[in-house]
Chains A and B, each alone.
Chain A
Amino acid sequence: MTTESTPYVAPDQNDPAVRKGQEDRLREVWKPPSGWFFRWTDVNNNRIGVWYTLTAFGFMLFAGVLALIMRTQLAVPNNDLVTANTFNQLFTLHGSMMMFLFAVPMFEAVSIILLPQLLGARDLPFPRLSGFGYWSFLIGGVFVSGSIFFDAAPDGGWFMYPPLTTRTDLSGLGADIWMLGLSFIEVSSVAAAVELIVGVLKCRPPGMRLNLMPLYAWYILVVAVMILFAFPPLIAGDVLFEMERLLNWPFFNAEKGGDPLLWQHLFWIFGHPEVYIVFLPSIALFAMLIPTFAQRHLLGYPWIVLAAVGTAFLSFGLWVHHMFTTGLPKISLAFFAAASEAVAIPTGVQIFVFIATLWAGNVKKSTPLLYASGSLAVFVIGGLTGVMVAVAPFDWQAHDTYFIVAHLHYVLIGGTLLPLFAGLYYYWPLVTGKKLSDRLGRIAFWIMFVGMNLTFFPMHLSGLLGMPRRVFTYPEELGIGGLNLASTAGSYLFALGVLIVCIDLALSPRRPKAPRNPWNAGTLEWLALPDDEDWGIRSVPLIESRYPIWDQKNFVQKVDEGRFFLPDAEEMRRESIITTVLDARPLQVIRLGTPSVKPMMTAVALAGVFILTTYHLYLLSALSGIATLACVLWWLWTGTAEIPEKPTKHIGHGIEVPLYTSGPSAPGWWAMFITMMADATAFSGLVFGYFFFWTIHTNFPPTGAGLDGPGVFWPMVALALTLTGWAATVGAREVHRRGNVAAGRALLVVGIVTTLSSLFAGLAGPWVSGMDPELHVYPAIVWTLAIWTAVHAAIGVIMQTYTLARSLAGKMTPVYDADLRNITVYHHFLALTGIVTFCTIGLFPGVA
């Protein structure tokens, strides 16, 4: 891999002039775009992360105000401040916004800011994807939350149980806004999860083996993987839901063979992991700040990994505990009660790890630590009531009462909100270079802490005294007026605390700069200077410890003087190092995306698809879809898999790595693989639907006009074509890799033709038998599986055509073949989807 012509001479880092030259080049390369519009096309994680955080914070304040209105309405019995209609919109939007527009995006936003810093990377692997995620989030969020000003907000509760929400005579536009607006945001959440996973696995600095990874990165990895498996079932549910609302396909309509419980399963398979998705990142913040304030290494690092991974798994076995009262067999409930108790074990482990660390260390009292310990106290109460409601008989009483409202707010305030405030006080100097006021912070903490307890503690009692959830009023005779008044008073107190934090933030620009690393922390992110440069880190360090700033000699100085890796930007490109998963050995230098308007345009176009569909403007929506496709192709064609000007690059210390890789060592391949895992999970949600309907019906599939299945012939033809298309694609990759470009192109053409034919053959089954999806749930679910597979085949054809075009345009060669390798991953999953779909709809009726 050495260039023979001119021997490489490493720059002399002792020479200040050399360092100055490197800094100037880095500064020029990482310069943010300017101009009133173009400044918003920035994709640097420093800026996207901050926008993202501020937007999510704004949505949190908005949803908080909605809660205050609700508490005011409930202050006294039989109050008439707001109507039932408004109240239903308030609680639906409050819950939905806090979950979808605050908790999850906030975790992703904070991670976008922190992760590259923690990993000593210059940016995340796909900066433009971050930009796309942000703009999608902003547009979707404003669309959903703004609906309340038009009295059109969703009003079916954040869980949106059908048939109340699918019957168009019982629910209006709000249900579509919820379903389509939030689906859009879910897509962007999954995109961010893909980026974070690749970031943690592939973008660590050299030497940062798995056992040296900051715990925050471990948690991000676990949580992002959870998002990957938790959100897609909800997306599958959303698909079925909108098919019922817009096309009258009766998935949840019991009169036509559907079942409202299917939605509950799909929703809570998402909904319970969701709780841990928003809780674990907060614990991750603790895992960063507690060692700092104990001034020692975290005690029990593997225990934290155990807890994070264990929680992630167990949290997928809890969903039915939200359905304890749906009349499922008691033994089924018991399995979930058992898993719900088991998940308390890893949670307890984490708490004891923190206690042990504080015990062993020299505790420095500080505002962030005050927030952290306060939130642990709140969370412990929520956790204990969680163990209580996991006991099914107790839950039969507590379910859907204010007891649960109390429980979930203790968990979410103690497990998400207060930890985020701890993180805010801890990391504010990292982002702005200034500390927040310790005094105001402490005052705000105590006000919030008292307010929080005063609001939610009485709710345990009002629930047990018979107050159901989601009621806009309650009768005086229940005797819970006093408790409710206390809750209302507490909520205003809590809001006052939040206000003080906001004032503290507003005063920040007038405060002096803090010193670098003001808390004397040991982890990489604190390399940031108060006057931060946009390049992220001066040189990418070699890591030999979990707390390199504490443990590695002259570490900060060596980083600053560019004595580690990649201290320069000789070719004036944004670059970062890709390393191996287990041991972080350097593999590649990637060129990162630069500021561009493409992510924003793609987000706008995709938003058009969702928003226009809400208003039943299908033609415009289809046009928007075409525009989205065009934007994506344009983005990919101009910005990815670029053939570098030279094959390798020196990154310092005698290490030379390639500038282009393809296949399993490349981040793009991982991104495709991970995305397809999410896609396969969504698909399995639909397949689950098919078999769910099989279990609840004695004769499934049914027979009759419009009900007869797709037969065996067409599904088997489609299956054969899908597999041929797959084989052709794999074959194209192999012959192309061996240098036979022409044969590769020919096989791609075969792939295009067969995959396209499989699309039509797959739809021919239900079409030829005249299956009427409005008649019964069986034709509806068969059509859904067939259409899902057809859409994926269509995307597969687009990918094959794109790759062929890349080859013809000279942008892909046997050495530089990332496009072909990545689409092969897609086609593996497409083949799997085809096998499952066509065997299910074609062969299963024969054995059912």
Chain B
Amino acid sequence: MRKVKFLPVAMCLPILAACNRHQSTLAPFGEEADKVRSIAIVLVVGSVILAAGLALLMRHAMRAPEGRLTHKGGMKLVLWLGGIGPSILLLGLLLYALPAMRPIPVADTDLRIGVEGEQFWWRVRYAPPGGPLVESANELRLPVGRTVELSLRGTDVIHSFWVPGLAGKMDMIPGRTNRLIVRATKAGTYRGVCAEFCGLGHALMAFDVVAMEPAAFERWLAAQARPATPTASPGARLFASYGCSGCHSVRGIGPVAKIGPDLTHFGSRATLAAGVLPMTHANIAGFVRDPGKTKPGVRMPAFPQMSAAEADQIASYLQGLK
């Protein structure tokens, strides 16, 4: 047993070295995730010690000659190692772990961000204290060192908001508003995913998380609050004529539409299709014509009648919405 148990661990070491740093509970960039990692280390070390001790004891028991342990001795073993020992150990574990469940305190002046999970993307609304409401999608930006309260809702089915490096996950349940209070500690680009099975596209429902220095964040938020600059590009016309603006808002250019993601500053995001594809011209053009090919179950219809050239023009227009 011992031989085999550690084999996978040994095998994983080289693989671990190559592991990602932006969607991992082992590479935290938030206070909550950091706290959990410390707990995890304690738990893992404790478990390994207990498992090894049990394995040794079992080996000893199997090899001991008959009658080495009397009935009375056996009862003592069960009482102390099976009953009293674990009770004390678990009591200690509870006293250690329960306080870690307390949420970070939050004040009225802290930034609030609403995130809504929909099949299969994320609606994000920033509500800075005293400032205007700013809507975006599939990307979450956070000021480093500031407490942020996330209000999480599911609009159609249950989703779960999970940024492994930031904090534990929290479900987004229709009819309920869940709060998750986080504080980023390290600037950088990270990734979050939907953790509750939500249908066909569940595996492809991710988003980017960018933790920024507070000043940079303020500037970015101000830019996001501004509407897009109207252009007369052919892509903009096609966007309207294919009915895209029936679902997607481009503030300042088209009508207000609430069905699909807000695209006002689409070009400024790093990925498209909810964290699935890098934001390249070709990817946009391909996705616009046949989104279902990349993302099964997507609500956006395919446009088989759209020519490649038209898709190109729409892609150029969208990529220009910085």
Whether the complex brings A and B within 8 Å at their CB atoms is answered: yes
**Which B residues lie within 8 Å of A464 (CB)?**
24-26, 40, 164
Q: Is the CB of B100 within 8 A of A359?
A: no
Q: Is the CB of A373 within 8 A of B171?
A: no
Q: Is the CB of B19 within 8 A of A380?
A: no
**Which A residues lie within 8 Å of B308 (CB)?**
none
What's the minimum C-beta distance from B143 to chain A, rounded to whole angstroms?
A: 23
Q: Is the CB of A327 within 8 A of B173?
A: yes
A474 within 8 A of B: yes
Known: A163-B158, A381-B51. A360 touches B167 (CB 8 A): no
Known: A300-B74, A361-B66, A483-B12. A327 touches B175 (CB 8 A): no
Closest residue of chain B to A469 (Cβ to Cβ) is B197
Binds B, one of A451-459, A719-727, A813-821: A451-459
Q: Is the CB of A397 within 8 A of B168?
A: yes
Q: Is the CB of A393 within 8 A of B169?
A: no
A582 within 8 A of B: no
Contact of A359 among B39, B74, B170, B174 (CB under 8 A): B74
Q: Is the CB of B158 within 8 A of A161?
A: yes
- Where the two chains meet, the residues of A that have a C-beta atom closer than 8 Å to any C-beta of B are 83-85, 88, 156-157, 161, 163-164, 167, 170, 254-255, 258-261, 295-296, 299-300, 303, 325-327, 330, 333-334, 337-338, 341-342, 344-345, 348-353, 355-363, 373-374, 376-377, 380-381, 384-385, 387-388, 391-397, 399-401, 449-450, 453-454, 457-458, 461, 464-466, 468-475, 477-480, 482-483, 486
What's the minimum C-beta distance from A541 to chain B, rounded to whole angstroms?
A: 26
**Which B residues lie within 8 Å of A458 (CB)?**
8, 11-12
Contact of A392 among B40, B101, B204 (CB under 8 A): B101
What's the minimum C-beta distance from B207 to chain A, rounded to whole angstroms?
A: 13
Q: How far is the CA of A157 from the CA of B202 in the complex (A)?
A: 12
**Which B residues lie within 8 Å of A449 (CB)?**
1, 4
Q: Tell me the residues in window 4-42 of chain B with beta carbons closer than 8 Å to chain A beta carbons.
A: 4-5, 7-9, 11-12, 15-16, 18-20, 23-26, 32-33, 35-36, 39-40
Contact of A461 among B1, B12, B194 (CB under 8 A): B12
B160 within 8 A of A: yes
**Which B residues lie within 8 Å of A470 (CB)?**
197, 202-203
Q: How far is the CA of A750 from the CA of B13 in the complex (A)?
A: 78
**Which A residues lie within 8 Å of B36 (CB)?**
393-394, 396-397
Q: How far is the CA of A38 from the CA of B156 in the complex (A)?
A: 53
**Which B residues lie within 8 Å of A486 (CB)?**
8, 11-12
Known: A360-B68, A468-B193. A348 touches B86 (CB 8 A): yes
B104 within 8 A of A: no
Contact of B83 among A349, A400, A471 (CB under 8 A): A349
Other CB < 8 Å A-B pairs besides A300-B75, A457-B5, A466-B23, 18 of them?
A: A161-B158, A163-B174, A254-B175, A261-B173, A300-B78, A325-B195, A351-B54, A359-B64, A359-B77, A360-B70, A380-B51, A393-B168, A394-B43, A396-B168, A453-B8, A465-B20, A466-B25, A471-B202
Known: A300-B74, A449-B4. A337 touches B94 (CB 8 A): yes
Q: Is the CB of B162 within 8 A of A468?
A: yes
Contact of B169 among A400, A461, A465 (CB under 8 A): A400
Q: How far is the CA of A164 from the CA of B160 in the complex (A)?
A: 13
**Which B residues lie within 8 Å of A299 (CB)?**
69, 71, 74-75, 78
**Which B residues lie within 8 Å of A362 (CB)?**
65-66
Q: How far is the CA of A454 from the CA of B12 in the complex (A)?
A: 11
Q: Is the CB of A400 within 8 A of B195?
A: yes
Q: How far is the CA of A206 from the CA of B69 in the complex (A)?
A: 33
- Where the two chains meet, the residues of B that have a C-beta atom closer than 8 Å to any C-beta of A are 1, 4-5, 7-9, 11-12, 15-16, 18-20, 23-26, 32-33, 35-36, 39-40, 43-44, 47, 50-51, 54-55, 57-58, 60-71, 73-75, 77-78, 81-83, 86-87, 90, 93-94, 97-98, 100-103, 119, 152, 156-158, 160, 162, 164, 167-171, 173-176, 178-179, 191, 193-204, 276, 296-297
**Which A residues lie within 8 Å of B51 (CB)?**
380-381, 384
- Most A Cβ at <10 Å: residue of B39, B61, B297: B61
Q: How far is the CA of A468 from the CA of B201 in the complex (A)?
A: 13
**Which B residues lie within 8 Å of A385 (CB)?**
47
Q: How far is the CA of A479 from the CA of B16 in the complex (A)?
A: 8
**Which B residues lie within 8 Å of A255 (CB)?**
174-175
What's the minimum C-beta distance from B113 to chain A, rounded to whole angstroms?
A: 16
Q: Is the CB of B24 within 8 A of A465?
A: yes
What's the minimum C-beta distance from A593 to chain B, rounded to whole angstroms?
A: 43
Q: Is the CB of A453 within 8 A of B5?
A: yes
9 nearest interchain CB pairs? A396-B168, A254-B175, A327-B178, A352-B82, A471-B203, A362-B66, A466-B23, A457-B8, A356-B74
**Which A residues lie within 8 Å of B162 (CB)?**
400, 468
What's the minimum C-beta distance from A251 to chain B, rounded to whole angstroms?
A: 12
**Which B residues lie within 8 Å of A374 (CB)?**
1
Closest residue of chain A to B11 (Cβ to Cβ) is A486
Q: How far is the CA of A610 from the CA of B83 in the complex (A)?
A: 47
What's the minimum C-beta distance from B300 to chain A, rounded to whole angstroms?
A: 16
Closest residue of chain B to A369 (Cβ to Cβ) is B62
What's the minimum C-beta distance from B2 to chain A, rounded to whole angstroms?
A: 9
Q: Is the CB of A325 within 8 A of B170?
A: yes
Contact of A327 among B98, B170, B198, B202 (CB under 8 A): B170
Closest residue of chain B to A458 (Cβ to Cβ) is B8
Q: How far is the CA of A62 from the CA of B57 in the complex (A)?
A: 38
Q: Is the CB of A352 within 8 A of B98?
A: no
Known: A299-B74, A461-B12. A163 touches B97 (CB 8 A): no
Q: Is the CB of A358 within 8 A of B61?
A: yes
Instruction: Give 17 pairs: A residue, B residue, CB < 8 Å, sorted on A.
Output: A164-B158, A258-B175, A260-B173, A296-B66, A348-B83, A359-B61, A359-B69, A360-B68, A387-B90, A388-B44, A392-B101, A394-B39, A396-B167, A396-B170, A457-B9, A466-B25, A479-B19
Known: A254-B174, A397-B25. A84 touches B78 (CB 8 A): no
Closest residue of chain A to B180 (Cβ to Cβ) is A327
Q: How far is the CA of A330 from the CA of B97 in the complex (A)?
A: 12
Q: How far is the CA of A164 from the CA of B23 in the complex (A)?
A: 26
What's the minimum C-beta distance from A260 to chain B, rounded to whole angstroms?
A: 6
Q: Is the CB of A397 within 8 A of B16?
A: no
Closest residue of chain A to B191 (Cβ to Cβ) is A466
Q: Is the CB of B47 within 8 A of A254?
A: no
**Which A residues lie within 8 Å of B44 (CB)?**
388
- Most B Cβ at <10 Å: residue of A254, A349, A393: A393
Contact of A477 among B7, B20, B69 (CB under 8 A): B20
Q: Is the CB of B195 within 8 A of A401?
A: yes
What's the minimum C-beta distance from B180 to chain A, rounded to whole angstroms?
A: 8
Known: A393-B97, A457-B8, A472-B203. A254 touches B82 (CB 8 A): no
Q: Is the CB of B168 within 8 A of A341?
A: no
Q: Is the CB of B82 within 8 A of A351?
A: yes
Q: Is the CB of B86 within 8 A of A330?
A: no
What's the minimum C-beta distance from B195 to chain A, rounded to whole angstroms?
A: 4
Known: A393-B97, A394-B43. A479 touches B173 (CB 8 A): no
Q: Is the CB of A466 within 8 A of B24?
A: yes
What's the minimum C-beta distance from A746 to chain B, rounded to whole angstroms?
A: 54
Q: Is the CB of A84 within 8 A of B64?
A: no
What's the minimum C-beta distance from A539 to chain B, rounded to whole angstroms?
A: 33
**Which A residues lie within 8 Å of B78 (CB)?**
299-300, 303, 349, 352-353, 356
What's the minimum C-beta distance from A275 to chain B, rounded to whole angstroms?
A: 18
Q: Is the CB of B25 within 8 A of A387?
A: no
**Which B residues lie within 8 Å of A85 (CB)?**
200, 296
Q: Is the CB of A466 within 8 A of B193?
A: yes
Q: How far is the CA of A117 from the CA of B204 in the complex (A)?
A: 54
What's the minimum C-beta distance from A482 to chain B, rounded to whole angstroms?
A: 4
Q: Is the CB of B75 within 8 A of A483?
A: no
What's the minimum C-beta distance from B35 to chain A, rounded to whole angstroms?
A: 7
- Most A Cβ at <10 Å: residue of B11, B35, B171: B171
What's the minimum C-beta distance from A760 to chain B, rounded to whole angstroms?
A: 36
**Which A residues lie within 8 Å of B70 (CB)?**
360
Q: Is the CB of B8 within 8 A of A393?
A: no
Q: How far is the CA of A93 from the CA of B136 in the complex (A)?
A: 38
Q: Is the CB of A397 within 8 A of B33?
A: yes
Q: Is the CB of B60 within 8 A of A359?
A: yes
